[in-house]
């Protein structure tokens, strides 16, 4: 069992290789939620994620003869970059096996930190199996993504930093994938302040720990696509599961639209970019998924490595969820000035047209009717009701999409 002393030792091991990331108070998030909200900005950590903490502690503790033979891991994201940079800092070789469909930006980032990147298979499991074969073939050390005592101790150093700056906190909300992060934080915090509430958050698309909690045993799931891909783990760790069961007070899940809304909110209000996994703690408290005790709450924003190719879609989902994009389907008479009259109503209500589709050929339309699809930038739900109500009062047949 990992102890508080192990985490304190890990902190001494890695402090010269990592950033002590900021813990800041958010007035805007506090006003929105009714709590005193602090955010731990691990998205500003080296490589953009907390993962470098555990990877550095693992490599630091390796015997010199094993360091000479190098390390190997399987990962499609943050862990890959953490291992790559840590190995570079210690002057040892790192090989990272990534699924063939891994993000090109993550491949390039991992190579940029000095690792050998090998693309293999269609899934993480394929990459993991190949990494294990390289471990045997080369005699190098395999570094697990989360189920390793040195990794858990390294991730737990976040808890030490939080308590050092905010000793009177009441609750910490943490993303949960394989469980290494929340396990380490729980040991670090409850080892010094037993009454601190620890809450774990997962994406509803990949609820391995949430389901395992309900079943009372480690239960794998089939993960669905999620913007919180960093925590889309089909099975919780064998080391981490009992720690979480013993020390974590609550596990909750959040939906995709809620995660997108949280990403957008952090960009707008805190001027900080987080990936889906890093946004789930805010999603949980914004949507009242948790039963938080006390007032002072810390949200661990675990990483900021969001794929730029999906950021636009995430922003759009966030705007829709917050009511600031309204999509309407409007049926009306197909006359020369009909579209002009419709647009004038939208302009009168001070909405901005983002996208418009004019469809005269839809099979569900009678002759002399046309269908208009509008995407509007609005001020929120109340504004949306004003626009929709005005259109209905003017005789339009309106359906929200």
Q: What is the CATH number of the domain that holds 344?
A: 3.30.70.260
Give the pLDDT score at 267: 93
Rounded to whole angstroms, how far apart are CA atoms 9 and 247? 21
Question: Can you list the pairs that 360-364 forms with residues at least 24 positions away whose Cβ atoms lie under 8 Å?
Answer: 360/334
For 132, counting Cβ atoms within 10 Å of its Cβ (0-12 exposed, 13-18 middle, 19+ buried), the class is middle
Same domain for 395 and 333 = yes
Q: Which of 118, 142, 166 is the last residue of a domain?
A: 142
Residue 363 zone, left/alpha/beta (φ > 0; ψ -120 to 50; rest): alpha
Give the pLDDT score at 200: 98
Q: Give the number of residues written for the chain.
A: 401
Same domain for 349 and 211 = no
Give the pLDDT score at 317: 77
Do the beta carbons of residue 306 and residue 314 sit within 8 Å? yes
Give the pLDDT score at 201: 98
Same domain for 120 and 9 = no
Residue 201, φ and ψ in degrees, nearest 5: -130, 130
Collect all residues with Cβ–Cβ distance below 8 Å to 30 and sequence separation of at least 6. Answer: 36, 37
β-sheet bridge partners, residue 327? 375
Structure tokens at 21: 């990331």
Same domain for 257 and 218 = yes
Number of structural domains (the chain) is: 3
Do the beta carbons of residue 121 and residue 130 sit within 8 Å? yes
Give the pLDDT score at 358: 84
Same domain for 351 and 310 = no
Rounded to whole angstroms, how far apart are CA atoms 19 and 46? 7
Burial profile 327-340: b = 16 or more Cβ within 10 angstroms, e = fewer: ebbbbbeeeeebee
Do the beta carbons of residue 401 and residue 389 sit within 8 Å? no
Question: Can you list the pairs that 356-361 forms with residues at least 24 positions away whose Cβ atoms lie under 8 Å?
Answer: 360/334
Other Cβ atoms within 10 Å of 223 Cβ, number: 18
The whole domain housing 12 covers 4-50+148-319
Nearest alpha carbon to residue 71 among 143, 177, 122: 143
β-sheet bridge partners, residue 370? 332
Do the beta carbons of residue 236 and residue 244 sit within 8 Å? yes
Same domain for 273 and 372 = no
Same domain for 22 and 152 = yes
Q: Which of 301, 319, 337 is the last residue of a domain?
A: 319
Give tens-digit pLDDT for 221-232.
988 989 998 899
Same domain for 315 and 348 = no
Enumerate residue ranges in the chain where pLDDT < 50.
none
β-sheet bridge partners, residue 331? 371, 397
DSSP assignment of 244-273 equals HHHH--EEEEE-HHHHHHHHHHHHHHH---
CATH number (domain holding residue 103): 3.40.50.1100
Rounded to whole angstroms, how far apart are CA atoms 2 and 243? 9
DSSP at 194: T
Same domain for 303 and 189 = yes
Same domain for 313 and 170 = yes
pTM of the model: 0.87
Same domain for 264 and 197 = yes
Do the beta carbons of residue 264 and residue 273 sit within 8 Å? no
Same domain for 152 and 136 = no
Give the pLDDT score at 293: 87
Give tens-digit pLDDT for 44-87.
999 999 999 999 999 999 999 999 999 999 997 899 999 999 99
Beta-strand ranges (E) seen in 282-389 are 296-301, 325-333, 352-359, 369-377
Q: Which of 319, 347, 378 is the last residue of a domain?
A: 319
């Amino acid at each position: 069992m990992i102890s508080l002393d192990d985490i304190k030792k890990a902190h001494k091991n890695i402090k010269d290789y990592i950033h002590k990331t900021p813990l800041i108070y958010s007035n805007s998030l506090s006003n929105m939620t009714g709590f005193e909200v602090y955010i731990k900005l691990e998205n500003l950590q080296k490589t953009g994620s907390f993962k470098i903490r555990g990877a550095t502690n693992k490599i630091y503790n390796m015997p010199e003869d094993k360091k000479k033979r190098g390390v190997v891991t399987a990962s499609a994201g943050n862990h890959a970059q953490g291992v790559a940079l840590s190995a570079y800092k210690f002057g040892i070789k790192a090989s990272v096996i990534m699924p063939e469909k891994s993000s090109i930006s993550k491949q390039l980032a991992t190579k940029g930190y000095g690792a050998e990147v090998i693309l293999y298979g269609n899934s993480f499991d394929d990459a993991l199996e190949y990494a294990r074969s390289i471990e045997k073939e080369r005699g190098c050390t395999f570094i697990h993504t989360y189920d390793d005592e040195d990794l858990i101790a390294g991730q737990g150093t976040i808890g030490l930093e939080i308590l050092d700056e905010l000793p009177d906190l009441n609750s910490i909300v943490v993303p949960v994938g394989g469980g290494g992060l929340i396990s380490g934080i729980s040991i670090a915090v409850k080892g010094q302040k037993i009454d601190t509430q620890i809450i774990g958050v997962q994406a509803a698309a990949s609820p391995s720990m949430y389901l395992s909690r309900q079943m009372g045993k480690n239960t794998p799931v089939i993960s669905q696509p999620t913007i919180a891909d960093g925590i889309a783990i089909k099975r919780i760790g064998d080391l981490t599961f009992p720690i979480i069961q013993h020390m974590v007070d609550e596990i909750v899940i959040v939906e995709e639209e809620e995660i997108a809304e949280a990403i957008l909110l952090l960009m707008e209000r805190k001027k900080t970019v987080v990936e889906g996994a890093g946004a789930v703690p805010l999603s949980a408290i914004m949507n009242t998924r948790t039963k938080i005790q006390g007032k002072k709450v810390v949200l661990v924003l675990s990483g900021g490595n969001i794929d730029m190719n999906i950021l636009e879609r995430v922003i759009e989902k966030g705007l829709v969820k917050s009511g600031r994009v309204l999509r309407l389907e409007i049926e009306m008479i197909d006359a020369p000035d009909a579209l002009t009259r419709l647009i004038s109503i939208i302009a009168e209500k001070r909405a901005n047209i983002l996208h418009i589709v004019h469809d005269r050929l839809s099979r569900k339309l009678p002759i002399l009717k046309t269908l208009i699809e509008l995407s509007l930038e609005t001020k929120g739900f109340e504004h949306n009701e004003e626009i929709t109500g005005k259109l209905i009062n003017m005789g339009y047949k309106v359906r929200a999409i």
